[in-house]
Amino acid sequence: MTPPRRAFGTDPPGRLPAAMVRVLAAELSDPGRFRRARQYAADGAVVDIAVEPGEVRAEVRGSRFDPYIVALRAALVSDGAPVAMLVPQRDELVATCSCPDGGVIGVVCKHALAALLVLADELTIEPALLARWRSARMQLGEWPGARDAAEPDDEGEPVDLLAGVTTGPRPLPAIATIPSRLPVPIHGDDALADA
């Protein structure tokens, strides 16, 4: 497992799948639990996260000394699935946690939600992690651009999973010009005109 990253730019490559995962986290919870999970994620309570085919594992610090162990499982999808199909639906995700709430059927605990939110942050930085989690090709190491951790990346370019889905940065709207001198009121105090 590796510690989560938090580097964002003005136009991160994985903003679409990350937003979809954040929406999934919100759908899986009530507002209070989601708020606590967001706070856990923002406070760095998710200390380790690992993405493997079919499963995301995380360690989340909670109220006890040892961190809680979270697993987010989703079935692998067929090769060539569009990005939108890689994000699991709420009924496709199985979240387990070693906390007391983790064993309650139909309840996704704040630790699992925090892990899901940190996964969304990771997807913002590296969208290929979504394919690693959900693709059968990644399990076999056949995904274009996939590499063995022991081998240096000597050839090829990284795969942009969102090519053609997102556009480049949009120009900022024009800013209205403000006159250097305000107009003098037609009716009113002449003292305002001298100011």
d(CA 110, CA 50): 18
The token pair at 94 is 């199985």
The token pair at 137 is 């090709």
The token pair at 77 is 């999808």
The token pair at 44 is 């760095």
Q: How far is C-alpha 88 from the chain's CA centre?
A: 13
Half-sphere CA count of 59, side-chain side, radius 13 A = 9
The token pair at 38 is 């967001």
Provide the residue count of the chain: 195
pLDDT (tens digit, 0 to 9) for every residue of the chain, 195 residues total?
A: 666 655 556 667 788 889 999 999 999 999 999 999 999 999 999 999 999 999 999 999 988 889 999 999 998 987 777 777 888 998 999 999 999 887 777 789 999 999 999 999 999 888 889 989 988 665 444 444 444 444 444 555 665 555 555 555 666 667 666 656 656 666 655 555 555
Contact 14, 126 (CB under 8 A): yes
Amino acid in the structure at residue 121:
D
d(CA 86, CA 54): 11
